[in-house]
A and B are shown apart, each in its own frame.
Chain A
């Protein structure tokens, strides 16, 4: 009895501590989101902890209106989603196809090509940004969506991840299909690709998140206002040429947080399980 009381007491202390840590995450978000709905002259006025720290006294959506006036916001959202979705879908197919060929097929040169792909893991985008910029220039792709999409349609990690999966699938499935008259393309598309649903979900999620977060690439390759993506647009709001319009800035940050947060809360179990599954990014 005494021991279980002690355990209960320990558990309450633990929950209390965890709650404090949770507050350190929640409070910054609440403060930011509430500021997005305040008039500029109210931002920062009610900072001493109280009701108005997290609830606007005079609620307004004028910050969002001004943001949509200052920046071509619909266009920016469209650009961001277009780049993230098209990269994710196409790279999933190419990485799966390559991982399948390297994991389940036999052909001369396979080992060398796999080693070549994997060795490229030593060249993250931060290292290659300079020559990649020059190459994009040579191909006349600067200021185009292609500059944000093409370089990421096949990734060393994606190929490695898909190969690990296909390598562990039985070869007999393909052989059986072959006896039934299926060709190599059909074997991949109809037999093996449907098996890869889970790893494709995982890789797709990671790719989408990476594209959504991507910053050094668009900030380097895109100058054309009409091709701006959300993350770069945010930094423009933050360091404007003129005085920062804080209301608009908070609105921008809120706009970039909320959609992803909603998707996460709806699918959070999958996301955490998937990230755990990759072992590491």
Chain B
């Protein structure tokens, strides 16, 4: 009797995962294997043919100045976006996590850029930063401040892109932090108040330590997002001026789909994969820490 039940579950269990197995197999596992193989070839899209070239793509990649520049740009962007965005999100989460309609209003408002598509945000800011008719320059002028060419000048273009990325996403992580804050029990807060701690002390010694896990997770996800940036380079700057805003995804995408250099672009994707793999492993370490609690 028991054996029969198990057999039934064995069959249906496998049947139930068949659709996912097919999809993941064709569109994840096979492409992942293929990426690895492609990175050792000089594959050509037109002739659908490639020769095995060994480590040539990997070797030449790092003498490609534009590529190393794109890696550097990506890392520099991540190094600014991650801390600035995380701190902003946390501070505003603490600020708006209060009773009252006005704070609910702010919570709603700050989230709006998160539900706007990245392309729309990028175009919107490209126009706001337009040197001739953009609102930002007009504001600077009316305040008596120097104006800027923004997206076509160095280093303003780099910081403009970073600003737009943060403007779009900080509200999303604010919401994540608010849910973390609401898990901290009111008793602990009240006790701190009675002990005479001021707001700053409460933030530093109670809130931040209790939110440690959420903070780590937000840092991991933000880092992933920053490493994968593509839309702002494509939409706002075309990677310019002179590569200032060429992210690594934008560079390898252009190499593959504009210059048809599939082999070397695949090798660059493998580097991107390694960066992401490291971050995912860290993420799971943090996640498994959660289960032990």
B23 contacts which chain A residues (CB < 8 A)? 94, 150-151, 153-154
Most chain A C-beta atoms within 10 Å of own C-beta, residue among B45, B96, B115, B167: B115
Q: State in angstroms the CA–CA spacing of A102 and B132 once bound together.
A: 58
Indicate whether B134 reaches chain A with its CB closer than 8 angstroms.
yes
User: For residue B25, which residue of chain A has the nearest CB?
Assistant: A116
User: For residue B22, which residue of chain A has the nearest CB?
Assistant: A154
Indicate whether A195 reaches chain B with its CB closer than 8 angstroms.
no
Q: State in angstroms the CA–CA spacing of A59 and B99 once bound together.
A: 40
A25 x B6 contact (CB < 8 A): no
Indicate whether B1 reaches chain A with its CB closer than 8 angstroms.
no
Interface size of A in residues (CB-CB distance below 8 Å): 96
User: For residue B137, which residue of chain A has the nearest CB?
Assistant: A47
Which residues of A, 202-229, contact B by the 8 Å Cβ criterion?
A: 209, 212-213, 215-216, 219-220
A116 contacts which chain B residues (CB < 8 A)? 24, 29
A106 x B24 contact (CB < 8 A): no
Give chain B nearest CB distance to A36 CB in angstroms: 11
B109 x A22 contact (CB < 8 A): yes
Q: Return the contact of A213 from the options B45, B118, B224, B280 (Cβ within 8 A).
A: B118
A276 x B175 contact (CB < 8 A): yes
Known: A135-B27, A216-B253, A231-B119. A253 touches B113 (CB 8 A): no
A122 contacts which chain B residues (CB < 8 A)? 273, 276-277, 280
Give chain A nearest CB distance to B201 CB in angstroms: 15
Known: A48-B142, A94-B23, A117-B20. A256 touches B175 (CB 8 A): no
B16 contacts which chain A residues (CB < 8 A)? 97-98, 100-101, 105, 184, 188
Known: A47-B135, A113-B21, A272-B175. A32 touches B32 (CB 8 A): no
Indicate whether A281 reaches chain B with its CB closer than 8 angstroms.
yes
One of B7-15, B79-87, B149-157, B202-210 at the interface: B7-15
Indicate whether B272 reaches chain A with its CB closer than 8 angstroms.
yes
Q: Return the contact of A21 from the options B110, B119, B234, B276 (Cβ within 8 A).
A: B110
A128 x B102 contact (CB < 8 A): no
A67 contacts which chain B residues (CB < 8 A)? none
Q: Return the contact of B110 from the options A22, A108, A271 (Cβ within 8 A).
A: A22
Give chain B nearest CB distance to A259 CB in angstroms: 11
Q: Return the contact of B38 from the options A28, A121, A124, A130 (Cβ within 8 A).
A: A130
Interface size of B in residues (CB-CB distance below 8 Å): 90
Interface residues of chain B: helix, strand, loop or mixed (majority): helix
Indicate whether A194 reaches chain B with its CB closer than 8 angstroms.
no
B280 contacts which chain A residues (CB < 8 A)? 121-122
Q: State in angstroms the CA–CA spacing of A232 and B31 once bound together.
A: 24
A280 x B221 contact (CB < 8 A): yes
B139 x A49 contact (CB < 8 A): yes
Known: A31-B128, A53-B135. A260 touches B9 (CB 8 A): no
Give chain B nearest CB distance to A200 CB in angstroms: 16
B6 x A106 contact (CB < 8 A): yes
B253 x A109 contact (CB < 8 A): no
Known: A106-B6, A235-B119. A14 touches B95 (CB 8 A): yes
Indicate whether B51 reaches chain A with its CB closer than 8 angstroms.
no
B109 contacts which chain A residues (CB < 8 A)? 22, 25-26
B132 contacts which chain A residues (CB < 8 A)? 44
B35 contacts which chain A residues (CB < 8 A)? 127-128, 130-131
| Selected A-B contacts with CB under 8 Å, 14 pairs | A15-B102, A17-B95, A18-B95, A28-B128, A44-B138, A45-B133, A98-B19, A106-B6, A107-B9, A107-B10, A252-B123, A260-B115, A261-B116, A280-B176
Given contacts A234-B123, A275-B172, 5 further A-B contacts (CB under 8 A): A14-B95, A21-B92, A94-B20, A117-B20, A151-B27
Residues of A whose CB lies within 8 Å of any CB of B are: 14-15, 17-18, 21-22, 24-29, 31-32, 35, 43-45, 47-49, 53, 94-95, 97-98, 100-102, 105-110, 113, 116-117, 120-124, 126-135, 139, 150-151, 153-154, 156, 159, 184-185, 188, 209, 212-213, 215-216, 219-220, 230-231, 234-235, 238-239, 246, 249-250, 252-253, 256-257, 260-261, 264-265, 268, 271-272, 275-277, 279-281
